[in-house]
C-alpha cells in the first residue's frame, strides 16, 4: 500500500492493491472503510482519500437499478446485487477495477465532477495505447468510455463506471478492460445496452494489467491533486 503524502493545498491519497479479490468481501471492506471515514470526520479526525486497485475473481454485478432481464444467460459465474449506480456488468481477471474512496466535500467536488474526473482519467489512460486513427471519449447518453475511429464510427466500450455516495463520501468506481476475456459480456446486456460491443486495451497495443494500472494511478493522482 502506497500513500501520497499531502503538500500545501493537497489531500493525501492512499493506493491499495488487491488481486484475486472476492467481490463481496471487497465490497464489504470498502463499505466498512467508508462508514469508518464518515464517523472519523464527524469526530474531527479527517482521513486520507483512498484509491483501491483491484483485480476481481469472475463475477457479474447488478447495480441499484439493475434489471434481471439484462442477464441473457446464466452460467457458473456468481451474480451479486450491489449498491452502486448502473445496470449489470462483469468483473474478472485481466480487468482493472479502480475504487474511488473520496471525501467529495473536502475536494469541493459534486457527483458530476467525480464522474467527469473518472471518465477523463480513463481517456488519458487509454489514449497512449491507441493508434492515431482512433480516439477515446465518454458518451453523454451512456456513462463510460468508448473508442472511436477518426471517421466518427464507434467501435465499442472499453470502460464502465458506477458510484455510490454516502454522506459526501464516494465508493465503487470504474472497470477498464485490459487483457481480460470478453466472452462473459456475451451473456449480458452490458450496462443495460443490448448488443454493446466491448473492447480491451490489448486490442490496440501489447501491454499488461500492471502497466495499465500504474498509468491509471498516475492519472488519478494528477487529477486528485489538481482539484485541491
The annotation status of 109 as a binding-site residue, yes or no, is no
The annotation status of 27 as a binding-site residue, yes or no, is no
The annotation status of 174 as a binding-site residue, yes or no, is yes
Q: How many helices (H) and strands (E) does the chain have?
A: 4, 11
| b/e map 98-114, b = 16+ CB within 10 Å | bbbbbbbeebebeeeeb
Instruction: Find out whether 181 and 202 touch, Cβ atoms under 8 Å.
Output: no
* Nearest C-alpha neighbor of 173 from the set 50, 19, 2: 50
The annotation status of 202 as a binding-site residue, yes or no, is no
The annotation status of 173 as a binding-site residue, yes or no, is yes
User: Helical H runs in 8-69?
Assistant: 23-42
**Distance of alpha carbon 111 from alpha carbon 104, whole angstroms:** 8
The annotation status of 89 as a binding-site residue, yes or no, is yes
Interstrand relation of 49-56 and 79-81 (parallel, antiparallel or unpaired): unpaired
226 labelled catalytic: no
The annotation status of 25 as a binding-site residue, yes or no, is no
Annotated catalytic residue within 11, 21, 104, 191: 191
The annotation status of 90 as a binding-site residue, yes or no, is yes
**Distance of alpha carbon 221 from alpha carbon 15, whole angstroms:** 10
The annotation status of 161 as a binding-site residue, yes or no, is yes
Catalytic residues: 191
Binding site as annotated, residues: 84-91, 160-162, 173-175
Give the residue numbers of the binding site for substrate.
84-91, 160-162, 173-175
Amino acid at each position: 500500500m502506497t500513500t501520497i503524502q499531502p503538500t500545501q493545498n493537497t489531500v493525501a491519497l492512499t493506493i491499495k492493491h488487491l488481486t484475486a479479490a472476492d467481490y463481496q468481501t471487497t465490497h464489504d471492506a470498502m463499505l466498512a472503510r467508508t462508514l469508518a471515514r464518515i464517523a472519523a470526520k464527524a469526530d474531527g479526525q479527517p482521513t486520507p482519500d483512498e484509491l483501491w486497485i483491484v483485480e476481481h475473481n469472475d463475477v457479474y454485478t447488478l447495480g441499484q437499478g439493475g434489471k434481471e432481464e439484462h442477464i441473457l444467460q446464466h452460467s457458473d459465474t456468481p451474480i451479486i446485487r450491489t449498491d452502486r449506480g448502473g445496470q449489470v456488468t462483469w468483473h474478472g481477471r485481466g480487468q482493472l477495477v479502480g475504487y474511488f474512496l473520496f471525501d467529495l466535500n473536502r475536494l469541493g467536488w459534486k457527483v458530476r465532477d467525480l464522474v467527469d474526473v473518472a471518465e477523463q482519467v480513463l481517456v488519458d489512460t487509454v489514449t497512449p495505447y491507441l493508434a492515431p486513427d482512433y480516439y477515446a471519449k465518454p458518451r453523454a447518453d451512456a456513462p463510460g468510455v468508448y473508442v472511436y475511429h477518426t471517421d466518427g464510427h464507434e467501435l465499442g466500450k472499453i470502460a464502465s463506471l458506477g458510484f455510490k455516495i454516502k454522506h459526501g463520501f464516494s465508493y465503487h468506481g470504474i472497470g477498464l478492460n485490459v487483457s481480460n476475456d470478453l466472452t462473459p459480456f456475451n451473456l449480458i446486456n452490458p450496462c443495460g445496452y443490448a448488443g454493446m460491443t466491448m473492447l480491451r486495451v490489448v486490442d490496440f497495443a501489447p501491454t499488461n494489467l500492471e502497466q495499465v494500472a500504474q498509468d491509471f494511478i498516475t492519472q488519478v493522482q494528477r487529477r486528485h491533486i489538481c482539484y485541491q
